[in-house]
Amino acid sequence: MSSEQTATLKKVLKPIHLWAIAVGLVISGEYFGWNYGWGVSGTIGFLIATLLVTLMYVTFIFSFTELTTSIPQAGGPFSYSHRAFGWFGGLVAGYATLVEFLVTPPAIAFALGSYTHFLYPSLQVLDVAFACYVIFILINLLGIKESAIFSLVVTLLAVAELLIYIGIVAPHFSYQTFVTEPMPFGWPGVFAALPFAIWFYLAIEGVAMVAEEVEDPKRTISRGYIYGILTLVVLALAVMIFTGGVAHWRLLSEIDYPLPAALGIVLGRDSSLTQLFASLGLFGLIASFHGTIIGYSRQIYALARNGLLPSFLGNVNAKFQTPHWALIAGGIAGCVALKLGTTDQVIILAALGAVVMYVISMMALFALRRSEPNLERPFVVPAYPYFPMIALGLSLICLVAIVYYNVMLSIWFFAGLGLVTIIYMATGRHKTSKFTPITKSIVEK
């Protein structure tokens, strides 16, 4: 057996690292993408959609933390659903999570390219996006501790920058501007805006993918998750409300750099502060891009280790203890996606994968409470069963809304799930698929 096949992931992450990964995974959602929701719902319509989605994520994260601390494995949702429902439950959760984490990085890479092009017009958007994949895959290859420290630094810078942005635009907020054309598309617009509201919080569940690399998962994971979601709720609502009050939403609803554009309206396009913010704005995008690369690589690694993907993708580099083939394979898939989709389509597809995973994860929580009442649960969801019921109900509403307003993308998504299921059954792997708890497979260094 080669050193690649015997090498394991490294347990080094502390609560501050998990907070940085949780917030870093998501924080680019505060910088771009959400503003497309204004284009289908207006400001008040989108505020309603965002409040619904915020309630969904708060209840979901508290519920999901119980699963992550009870079953701290790199497969995350795949592991919980496999344990609760067998091979098909694991397959659905694994496929949905993989779609989410494979298509999110291309959207962020495209935004990185757009921000850079905004600053330096000679640099082409796609060239910058491809370069980002190469650079950040190399950073992730060096080791999880190094990756986590990098995440911490850029996440702190990104949070600080958003606070400065809020401080600059808040004095220019106009209630009259915010409520101009508040719900031009009525309640249907609220439902159409849900995937863009999800973008505010999408991928925070990626913390589950590094559960095998946490020093004390029973205590650390819950702290990272809860501090992370509280940070993001404050930032998301503040950024969205104050931005909506400085200019008519139609001016900002179809671009990949709404915050620099809003600053340009407040301070002037050629203001040194506007230019500086656009430069620093890259920190938020970098934090999320880096975090989602960690997420997709661990998901590919876990699925390969459990036989759902080619086995070589489950190998770990002996020197750096990182899943190098999974990092590279996900990067190739992301670069292909960059050439094929637009930002709004990618956001919708990522949101679809996410809500499918949220639905089956909450179902797994209920199933495991019944089938394994004695399972060690270091963190117990408060207000059970109401929190997971709220999360499940709102996730189902989001799922129906996304499918209804995006039929073709949904057909592609579910056709892919059907194809993967057929292949998995045709190879006979479903007959031998068993949940195997990871106990001593992680070497502490």
Domain CATH for 383: 1.20.1740.10
Which pLDDT tens digit goes with each residue over 269-320?
A: 777 777 777 776 788 888 888 888 888 888 888 888 877 788 888 887 777 7
What's the CA gap between 233 and 227, in Å, rounded?
10
Q: Which of 4-18, 66-80, 185-199 has the lowest mean pLDDT?
A: 4-18
What is the pLDDT averaged over residues 364-378? 94
Determine contact, residues 256/343, Cβ cutoff 8 Å. yes
In the chain, % helix, strand, coil (3-state, to 5) comes to: 75, 0, 25
Q: Tell how many helices (H) and how many strands (E) occur in the chain.
A: 20, 0
Tell whether omega for the bond before 385 is within 30 degrees of 0, i.e. cis: yes
Q: How many CA atoms lie within 13 A of 329 on its CB side?
A: 20
- 58 domain-assigned: yes
Q: Tell me, what's the pLDDT at 51?
A: 96
Written as six digits, the tokens of 9 are 């992931």
**Which of the two residues, 408 and 290, has the higher pLDDT score?**
408
Q: Tell me, what's the pLDDT at 266?
A: 87
- 8 domain-assigned: no
Which single residue is written with the structure tokens 């969904």? 56
**Which of the two residues, 428 and 376, has the higher pLDDT score?**
376
Q: Tell me, what's the pLDDT at 45?
A: 95
4 falls in which pLDDT band (50, 70, 90)? very low
> Residue ranges of the alpha helices (H) in 123-174?
125-141, 144-169
Number of domains in the chain: 1
What's the CA gap between 139 and 341, in Å, rounded?
26
**Which of the two residues, 412 and 256, has the higher pLDDT score?**
412
- 1 domain-assigned: no
The percent of residues in the chain predicted with pLDDT above 90, rounded, is 40
What is the pLDDT averaged over residues 229-239? 94
For residue 395, pLDDT over 90 is answered with: yes
Determine contact, residues 310/429, Cβ cutoff 8 Å. no
Give bridge partners of residue 13 from the DSSP assignment. 214
What's the CA gap between 174 and 90, in Å, rounded?
49
- 49 domain-assigned: yes
What's the CA gap between 348 and 344, in Å, rounded?
6
pTM: 0.84
Separation in Å, CA 382 to CA 13, 45, 205, 217, 386: 25, 30, 18, 19, 8
Written as six digits, the tokens of 43 are 């400001």
Separation in Å, CA 66 to CA 73, 223, 228, 358, 379: 13, 12, 16, 14, 5
Determine contact, residues 326/73, Cβ cutoff 8 Å. no
- 153 domain-assigned: yes
- 442 domain-assigned: no
Q: Tell me, what's the pLDDT at 440?
A: 36
What's the CA gap between 109 and 338, in Å, rounded?
8
- 3 domain-assigned: no
What is the pLDDT averaged over residues 138-149? 76
Q: Tell me, what's the pLDDT at 6?
A: 45
Q: Tell me, what's the pLDDT at 356?
A: 96
1 falls in which pLDDT band (50, 70, 90)? very low
Determine contact, residues 140/316, Cβ cutoff 8 Å. no
What's the CA gap between 94 and 97, in Å, rounded?
5
- 279 domain-assigned: yes
Which pLDDT tens digit goes with each residue over 112-142?
A: 888 788 778 888 888 999 999 999 888 878 7
For the purposes of burial, counting CB atoms within 10 Å of the CB of 64, is it exposed (0-12), middle (13-18) or buried (19 or more)?
buried
| Per-chain mean pLDDT for the chain | 85
- In terms of residue numbers, what domain contains 195? 13-432
What's the CA gap between 319 and 317, in Å, rounded?
6
Q: Tell me, what's the pLDDT at 434?
A: 53
